[in-house]
Amino acid sequence: MEVLRQARGQLEELTGMTAESVSSFEQTEHGWTLEVEVLELERVPDTMSLLASYQVELDGQGQLTGYRRVRRYERGRSDPRRSGGH
């Protein structure tokens, strides 16, 4: 759990955006890979806010080594392409 908290904090610090949740994570031979949901643009009503999923790579000590945005979507819309996780 501490690795997940650290990853969210590091991503927030780097991007300046709020990390809302970790939607998936897995341990790799080099550390961890996570998918973090981030609030990119807050709108009114909230269901129109833009969120994004970021793939985050961490080393074995939990330090962020890289990240990239993998999708962007409105909060109120479901994503028919994915049912969650990898």
d(CA 80, CA 38): 19
d(CA 85, CA 13): 24
Q: How far is CA 35 from CA 44, 45, 54, 58, 86, in A?
A: 25, 25, 5, 11, 9
Query: Where do the structural domains in the chain lie, given as residue ranges?
Result: 1-74
Note the pLDDT tens digit of each residue in 5-64: 888 999 999 999 999 999 999 999 999 999 999 999 999 888 889 999 999 999 999 999
Given this model, what pLDDT does residue 84 score?
A: 52
Positive or negative, the Cα torsion across 65, 41, 76, 73? Answer: negative
d(CA 43, CA 51): 11
Residue 65 CB: number of other CB atoms within 10 A? Answer: 11
